[in-house]
Structure 1
Amino acid sequence: MSHKPQAVLWDMDGTLVDTEPYWMAAETALVESFGGTWSHEQAIQLVGNGLLDSARMLRDAGVDMAPDAIVAHLTEEVRTALATQGVPFRPGARELLRDLQAAGIRTALVTMSLRRMARSVVDLMDFDAFEHIVAGDDAEHPKPHPAPYLQAADLLGIDIADALVIEDSVTGLRSGLASGAVALGVPHMIPLDDAGAHALWPTLEGRTAGDIADVFSSVRTQQREEALR
């Protein structure tokens, strides 16, 4: 019988919603407005990073703006894209969220995007999907530091060991793993084969709360057995 987690902690960009193309388009336009060039390879390096870290890389590419101003500009550009082009949810994400709720498994959103960006996404969902949001402007330290996921566990009033994290980036998985949660990788823009995830799924489509419980139970059982050796 599966032992289910008390909570599932979700990354947003690339895991819940496919906003990475919006971010990449905004980055490219901004760099080019300062006469620079921005490649797909450079954009990929920013996936999962804290926004201020990304802003510093954009400054290195020629954007002559303060890091905070870069973050504010990109956030508004992506929010505009969400409002005009829609929220592209990742396959199976909404369905899994609903199934987790039905199974009594709590949920929180842990993103390095600003809170107003996270609220733009969550407010466009047709149900109350998350109990709490930890956003980039809430976190004491950005991913890959464990702080964002530890903050989410504190808000939920649970031990992080009783949580499972879903991530699409190496940076995010490092954060989840360092926190002590079970870490499930669902790759999107970048491969995660060597990222150390406890489990990898190619997609969330067709997945259920039972599948989440199976992963959590399997990992924790294996860890207990290894500790006894």
Structure 2
Amino acid sequence: MTKKIAIITAGGSGTRMGGAMPKQFLLLKDKPILWYTINAFFDAFDDISIILVLPSDFIRQGEILVSEMGKEDSVTIIEGGATRFHSVKNGVNLLNKDSIVFVHDGVRCLITPALIRACYEQTVLMGSAIPAVSAIDSIRILDDHSNHTAINRSRIKIIQTPQTFKGELLIKSFNMPYQEIFTDEATVVEYSGEKIYLIEGDYDNLKITRPVDLILAESILQKRKIY
């Protein structure tokens, strides 16, 4: 039976939030942001295993959170690396080939079980599923001389997570040396020679990066009646 594994990357310090506490542990309606992220994956699949990537100084805090959720047997906590690539690679090193693997930003706490399941189903059929939404703002691109040109925003896709792959693709791809162009997992897999496939994302699947995002996230949770 194919295993379902989520690598949840929460290894950042969250300096843009303006506090000492990493943003993944900030409270949103009395629960840490990370609680909602983890809970969504268990709501999607009760047989999923999670690899939680945390800063070394906050591993104990992660252990307490997982214990309070009663998920100690299903969550493995590991230390993050110097970059996103290295953090994810630490998780990939624990995988086996016969798996479907979700790689998700820990602070995308509004991810829905429905999108998680859609990513799984497409990956089973096509090998990958990368959530993406269309740009809604006007877009301009700069050249090396600061000249700018308007481009057709209908052709621009904004990439989200969970970026989902067959385990064998991630294992093969993350054996490559790190390069600066590796900004996400799709870039790594594509660079290895594999085709990646997009799937319709969710505009509410935002990444908490600024204080105002917490206010928006609370409003979305209120709308969903999640407390």
TM-score range, shorter chain: 0.3 to 0.5
Larger helix share, 1 or 2: 1
**TM-score computed with the length of structure 1 as normaliser:** 0.40
